[in-house]
Homo-oligomer: A and B are copies of this chain.
Amino acid sequence: MAKKSSKDKKAHKDAKVAAVTPPSFTEALRVGEGFELVGLDPRSTPGFDGDKVAGEEALAGLGDQLAELQERLYAESKAGGKRSVLLIIQGMDTSGKGGIMRHVVGAFDPQGVHITSFKAPSAEERRHPFLWRIRNALPEAGQIGVFDRSQYEDVLIVRVHDLVPPSQWSRRYAQINTFEKKVVASGTTVIKVMLHISSDEQKARLAERLERPDKHWKFNPGDLDERAHWAAYQEAYQAAIEKCSIDDAPWFVVPADRKWYARLAVTNLVLEHLTALDPQWPEADFDVAAEQKRLAETP
């Protein structure tokens, strides 16, 4: 980062605020009353008019802003700040979760990021309530936590396959809402993203994994068994989005048939939330002039 006067910084900040109002990705993608997943075209690009080339350029241009805001959030925590960000990524197989981790999360400073990938629960995790492992993975102050899958698996795969009785999973929506409200109240901004792909796009992506030897390791025959439950998964997503889109932690549904758009959208969602947090460089808690004098006196 180049050195900036505080006047430059003020101008820079105003420019950033201007850049995200309106239309913002936050507004364009936030789930509102009466949202219907089936009504959202997975090839659409809400909040962005350009094509792939324009989208990739726009994405490349966000790096500096993102880096500075992330560093400010981190710096704030070193001076006692309690705030953090939690980005939750959900989506069907092949919806691009890995690409979001690589290209969006990969753009952050790795020192301030912690990714947790939630697989089928372990024996120990099964002995605890379903939110136990989630609570243990919440970001520390100053961090951007990222969940690759999340508590929502407990009302998605669990619901589709009846892994627990309906009386049990049906209570979880309210439990998740209560939990997330507490997380937000403790200072964590929660950004919940569903990557929304079409069944045709999934078919094409699975075909590519089968065609390319360097993609075989990503394929599992079980993926095709899961694909047979497509409709049940869409219903389970609709229910989770409807029941758990609370004011404190709304869902954002990102059309994801175009990978470049999904990456641009998720990056902007994080950027807009960080901009709203507006973290500040902490004041020095020492006498700057005195320390400069001490330093000058060293050999």
Contact = CB atoms under 8 A, between A and B. Distances in A.
7 contacts: A101-B111, A106-B106, A108-B110, A110-B115, A216-B283, A221-B291, A227-B295
A1 to B, nearest CB: 7
- Interface residue tally on A, bucketed by range: 35 or more
Contact of A111 (B79, B115, B228, B291): B115
Give the residue among A9, A148, A216, A224 with the most B Cβ atoms within 10 A: A216
A128 interface: no
Q: Give the dominant DSSP class at A's interface.
A: helix
A111 B220 CA distance: 19
Given A295-B203, A295-B206, A221 B111 contact: no
A298 B221 CA distance: 13
How many chain copies does the complex carry?
A: 2
Interface string A165-190: 00000000000000000000000000
A117 interface: yes
A291 B265 CA distance: 33
